[in-house]
Amino acid sequence: MTIRQVRLFVCVAAAAAVLSVRQAPVVAQAPLSGLDAYIQKGIADWRVPGLAVAVSKDGQIVFSKAYGVRELGKPAPADEHTLFAIGSTTKAMTAALVGMLVDEKKVDWDDPVVKHLPWFQMKDPYVSREVTVRDLLTHRAGLGNADYLWYGQSDSMPDILRRVRLVDPAYSLRSGFIYQNIMYAAAGAVVEAAGGLPWAQTIQTRIFDPLGMRDSISHLPTAAQTNVASPHFVVGDQVRVIENASVDPVAPAGAVWSSISDMSKWMQFVLDGGRANGRRLLSEKTAAELFTPQTIAPFEMYPTTRLTKPHWMTYGLGWFQQDYHGRAVDFHTGSIDGMVAIHGLIRDERLGVYVLANLDHAELRHAIMYSVFDRYGAHTDRDWSAEFLKLYSDLAKTADEERHKQEAARVKGTSPSLALDKYAGTYTDPLHGRVDVTLEGGALHLHYGTAFVGALEHWHYNTFRAVWQAAWRQPDLVTFTIDADGRLSGLEMQGARFLKKP
């Protein structure tokens, strides 16, 4: 290619970048030929209502397009400014905010958390004293998955963080890796304490505004936002609209909603080493630290590794990392009821992919990322969409088999030990909160927060099956306990024990 051709090529790319994503996709580089058709077929195969994709290469957005609709059954199309939940890809933003405070010497990565949050406690006093800001960002603080503290609950972030002191450690400090969201909420509290502004205001003034991310919000959308994608789930065999699940109680872990237009700007900021519009928001050292491996992560985090077969997987500060055909990949997914996202980078090649969609665990997101990587690599373009579709279909069959085994273990012909009205009451646990059981119309009903509300159907003996009003949530078994005097003393569900109030 001659210099004149190169200049012409760049000019055409720049002009294409301003086209609406509802028109033909921005395809400025030959490697992406056929990507649009590939995505459209994948959308049909996975039955995704709405999806948006952007690809950045060498400082330019070379592909950007939105597909489908915001909500199934309604005509409003998804476009470049449609808001989707970005889920846990928010974590990279929170880590970057901490990095900005590191640059300002208001925080050090290895500061004890109690330096900034003197009230912060974990169950082990040693861990309370020693856990660092870096530990909060790397899923190695010894805390098991504690999403029950916030998912479907109405507690505030300070209340949630104060209850961490009641959680039993799952492993000793820095000896393992269990992905969870609570510690990222704690990192957001550190941002607020050290920076002097709430996390939501900090992300607005330090990331959204400087990057020109005018669509982005740091909370569940309200009526003020009208161009918003609705979440969907496959219930039975039908794709259905479901209710949004709020991540606001642990917002720094995954509450941001954004558009493909805005996430393209974030992607370019990251690929440019922390610079936006010629202005450096992160020092080179800090930008590099975000991607420096901090701890080993398990392959089991992502079933896709069964097919991509990486040799290693690590976690940086808000980023998973793995090898792919000899190339270093940084990535993170976002998943919350009915919404998915993925952000993938090959920073050595200044290559990035971002995908948003509004169908629960539509792993077409992984397929698009790897397909883009393949198209810029020296490898044949595997049909990752077809392969992942089979993989996840097989996993779903395995889950169905486990449910059938549970059904087979049910003891037929038994009855509850007590009259149904004796099971009604309030059950509490200092860590897990409150469960209310009521007798309505001759049947028991259970209320646990806002997410778990439904009828209790007798299973066997003193165990009932909770069938949730939210049909996309799998039923849970609830077992009532009776003491030696024949009085109801508590219940067990979702791995927790609740005591009955007198």
Neighbours of 80 (CB within 10 A): 20
Residue range 33-49: mean pLDDT, rounded: 97
DSSP string, 301-333: G-TTHHHH--S-EEE-SS-EEEEETTEEEEEEE
Report d(CA 384, CA 390) in Å as an integer.
10
Give the pLDDT band (50/70/90) at residue 381.
confident
Nearest partner of 99 among 133, 128, 140, judged by Cα: 133
What are the residue ranges of CATH 2.40.128.50 in the chain? Answer: 420-500
* Residue among 492, 375, 432, 407 at smallest CA distance from 152: 432
Determine the Cα–Cα distance for residues 119 and 111; give it in Å rounded to an integer: 15
What number is the average pLDDT over the span 255-261? 98
Give start-end residues of each CATH 3.40.710.10 domain in the chain.
13-397
pLDDT digits (tens, 9 = 90+) for 451-473: 999 999 999 999 999 999 999 99
State the pLDDT at residue 29: 64
Per-residue pLDDT at 3? 32
Q: What pLDDT digit, counting tens, does each position of 153-190 carry?
A: 989 999 999 999 999 999 999 999 999 999 999 999 99
What's the whole-number average pLDDT of the chain?
93
Least confident of 2-11, 227-236, 423-432: 2-11
| Neighbouring C-alpha atoms within 13 Å toward the C-beta of 34 | 9
Q: How far apart are CA 362 and CA 341, in angstroms?
A: 9
Calpha distance 426→154 (Å, rounded): 17
Written as six digits, the tokens of 116 are 């900034």
Looking at residue 30, what is its pLDDT? Answer: 81
Q: In sequence order, which residues have a C-beta less than 8 Å from that of residue 17 and are 6 or more positions away?
A: 26, 28, 60, 61, 64
pLDDT at 11 over 50: no
Q: Output Rg (C-alpha) for the chain, integer angstroms.
A: 24
3-class DSSP state for residue 285? Answer: helix
Tokens for 4, please give them.
């004149």
pLDDT digit string (tens) for 480-494?
Answer: 999 999 999 999 999
Confidence of residue 392 (pLDDT cuts 50, 70, 90): very high
pLDDT digits (tens, 9 = 90+) for 97-123: 999 999 999 999 999 999 999 999 999
| Average pLDDT estimate for 77-94 | 98
Is the pLDDT higher at 493 or at 27? Answer: 493
Task: Provide the Cα torsion 16, 17, 20, 23; round to 10°.
Answer: 40
Confidence of residue 275 (pLDDT cuts 50, 70, 90): very high
Mean pLDDT within 314-335: 97
Q: Which CATH number is correct for 13-397, 3.90.230.10, 3.40.710.10, 3.40.50.300, 3.30.2290.10?
A: 3.40.710.10
Residue 20, pLDDT score? 33
Instruction: Give the count of beta carbons closer than 10 Å to the beta carbon of residue 15.
Output: 11
User: pLDDT tens digits, residue range 359-372?
Assistant: 999 999 999 999 99
Report the percentage of the chain scoring pLDDT > 70. Answer: 94
- Show Cβ contacts of residue 474 under 8 Å, excluding neighbours closer than 6 positions: 403
Q: What is the mean pLDDT of residues 318-325?
A: 97
pLDDT for position 433: 95
Q: What does the pLDDT average to over 217-231? A: 96
In this prediction, residue 380 carries a pLDDT of 75
How buried is residue 202: exposed, middle or buried, by Cβ count under 10 Å (0-12/13-18/19+)?
A: buried
* CATH number assigned to the domain covering 420-500: 2.40.128.50
As a whole number, mean pLDDT of residues 217-225 equals 95
When pLDDT is cut at 50, 70 and 90, the band that residue 379 belongs to is: confident
Mark out the alpha helices in 147-247 (DSSP H runs).
157-162, 182-195, 199-203, 209-211
H/E stretch holding 37: helix 35-46
| CA dist., res. 286 & res. 99, Å (int) | 6
Quick one: tokens of 400?
Answer: 């169905």
pLDDT above 50: residue 92: yes
* pLDDT of 23 strictly over 50: no
Closest by CA to 232, choosing from 341, 66, 357, is 357
Residue-level pLDDT at 441: 93
| CB of 112 closer than 8 Å to CB of 139 | no
